[in-house]
Each structure stands twice: as C-alpha cells, then as structure tokens.
Structure 1
Amino acid sequence: MTTEEIAREVRAEQQVAVVCGRMTTEQLPGFLGGAFGEVMATVAAQGRHVAGMPFGRYVPAGDGTFDVEAGFPVDAPVVAQGRVAPSTLPGGPAVSVVHRGSYDTVAAAYELLLRSVSEAGAEPAGAPWESYLDEPGVPEPRTEVVLPYTDRPAGA
C-alpha cells in the first residue's frame, strides 16, 4: 500500500448520477458493479455523458451498515429513472489523497485526511467519497479519497 501526498484545493460543485442503497461492507462490491452499469445506461439513454471516474460516497448508518451513493460525474443533471437519481458532489475546500493498493487498506487514506484536517484547525464538512481511478482487477488499484472540510469558527 502506498499513499501519495495530500492535495488541498477548492473544488467546484459537480453534477453526478447515482444509485443509492444501504448495505454492509460485504455487500458493497456486488452493489457497486450493478450501480455503475445502471448509471452508465441511464446517462447514455438520456443523451448525457459521463464526465469523470466512478465514485462511491459512504455514510455510516450506525448499525454496521452504510448509506451508499455510487455513480459518475455527468455533464448535465439526469432525470430520475428507475434506481438512478441526480445528486451533487459538494464544492468548496477539500483535501484529497490517492491511495494505491487493496481496497482493504484504503482506511489509512481516510485516517490521513482526517488527521490533516484536524491538524490544520479545520473539521470535516460532509461525507467523504472515493473515486476509482483504475479498472477492476488491477493488482494495485488507485483510489482517490476526497474529504470536504471547513475552517473551525474562531474560538471553537
């Protein structure tokens, strides 16, 4: 496992098309493949275009499951169809890092970003997400982990 240098940037809000679900980590691989296929088919059927790499946004639900949004950035909002819905990835300040290695070790990238934000006197602002930079089956896949943040109010 290797993790590249942390990048700090201000990101623009990005239109995305997603499939949402609640699941355990064991259910995630099967869900992602199906969700990505559904999103691509819906985007194409609506005359839209994929505008970036597939991503997953994960929010712990507190009962051992996660609320998941899985999809793609798109060039224009989609119309909800079947399980596919429009959404956005937030704009604003964010830190990111590219993790190279098994998905089983990507938690280290999250820990690195959380520590970086805290040490800078800031705090997370919304759910982080992962963009999958390589096709499935690559021996050491690259995963970009993005964490939006906000500065702590003075005196906090």
Structure 2
Amino acid sequence: MPDIVEHPDRPYVGVRKTITMTTFGVVADRIAELIGWLAERGVGLAGAPFLRYHSIDMEADGLDVEAGVPVAAPVEGEGDIRAGVLPAGRYATVTHHGHPDQLAGVMDELLKWASGQGLKWDMTESGTTEHWGCRLELYQTDPRVQPDPAEWDTVVEFRLA
C-alpha cells in the first residue's frame, strides 16, 4: 500500500543523460562511479542511490534520466558529474521487493492508486512527453551484498503537486 511522505530538499551528485528503454545502462551503470567519486573526496552517502526521471516520452522511446547519489551537504561537481537537489515536498511512495524488471507494474499501480485518491502529480505534459518535477527509483539493496535481483528492495517516489 502506498504512503505519502514529506521530504526536505535533498542534495545529491548525479549524471544526466538522454536514453532509450534499451540504453538504460548508459546512465544506470554510472551509480558505482558516482559512489567511488564521492569516496575519493571523503564524502559519504546520505541515502540510497537513485534514478531520477526528468522526462518520459514512451511513444518516441526517449527518456531524460539522471543517476544520483544523495549527500549530506552540497558537493561541487566535476566534468559531467553535477550537483543537484531533490526538491522538498510531498511524495507518494511505495516499496517494491523483487526484480527491477517488475518496476513498471509497480509504477502503474502507484499511478492508479493516486488517481483513485484524487492526488495530482508534479508533472506537466507536452505532446507525448511527461515532464516530472521529481520521479525517483531509490535502490535500497547493495548488489555487492545481495547479488540476486529478485531479492532487491526499491523505493519508488513521485512528487505530488
């Protein structure tokens, strides 16, 4: 069952790319690099690594996605690693236990639940593209500790209007 949570601004570092459904690795595989980059600078993580969906156009198979890692305080970026902030606000959230391939169904259920509750998203549409204020998948499980994706926990959070 989804919940609604309130979050303050959350600083992070991330790498943002335009991808397709078949090229997720271009951005998702950068999470380990981001963690290493922070470790080299003595900066610890302040939460779970994530993917942030800035825009989604399923008809054109185009996604503007960012891999990110939360930090306790802002950190200056370097190269294509940039500093950012997940915006404060109310988020509808649900936790999924299982393979990440099942997340599309989890997200569909969250969208249906929110619609049934009369909730509105921090999202605008332009043609076939959805532009999200903050739509996240937060990866709670360290794959070095639990290599079986069927045992992973992922929190899905969509910011409400």
TM-score range, shorter chain: 0.7 to 0.9
Query: C-alpha separation between the residues in 2 aligned to 1:66 and 1:141?
Result: 24
Aligned to 2:6: 10
Alignment of 1:67-86 (within 5 A): 67-86=64-83
CA contact 1:99–1:144 (8 Å) conserved in 2:
yes
How far apart are residue 71 of structure 1 and its match? Answer: 1.4
TM-score, scaled relative to structure 1: 0.83
The answer to whether residue 155 in structure 2 is matched with residue 144 in structure 1 is yes
1:135–1:47 CA distance, 2 compared to 1 (3 A): closer
Aligned to 2:138: 131
How far apart are residue 30 of structure 1 and its match? Answer: 5.0
Query: C-alpha separation between the residues in 2 aligned to 1:130 and 1:92?
Result: 16
- The letter for the 2-side match of 1:114 is L
- The letter for the 2-side match of 1:115 is K
1:86-141 CA deviation, whole Å, 9 max, x = no partner? 11112111110011122221112211221222222221112310001112332332
Query: C-alpha separation between the residues in 2 aligned to 1:15 and 1:106?
Result: 25
Aligned residues: 145
**Segment of structure 1 superposing worse, 15-24 or 130-139:** 130-139
Aligned to 1:89: 86
- The letter for the 1-side match of 2:36 is A
CA contact 1:39–1:72 (8 Å) conserved in 2:
yes
TM-score, scaled relative to structure 2: 0.81
How far apart are residue 55 of structure 1 and its match? Answer: 0.3
Could you list the runs of 5+ residues in structure 1 that have no partner in the other structure?
A: 151-156
CA contact 1:18–1:69 (8 Å) conserved in 2:
yes
Query: C-alpha separation between the residues in 2 aligned to 1:102 and 1:80?
Result: 31
How far apart are residue 13 of structure 1 and its match? Answer: 1.4
Aligned to 2:49: 54
RMSD: 1.7
1:20-57 CA deviation, whole Å, 9 max, x = no partner? 11111222135312x11332233234442211111001
- The letter for the 1-side match of 2:21 is T
Structure 1: which 4+ aligned runs deviate by more than 6 Å?
A: none
Task: State the identity as a percent.
Answer: 28
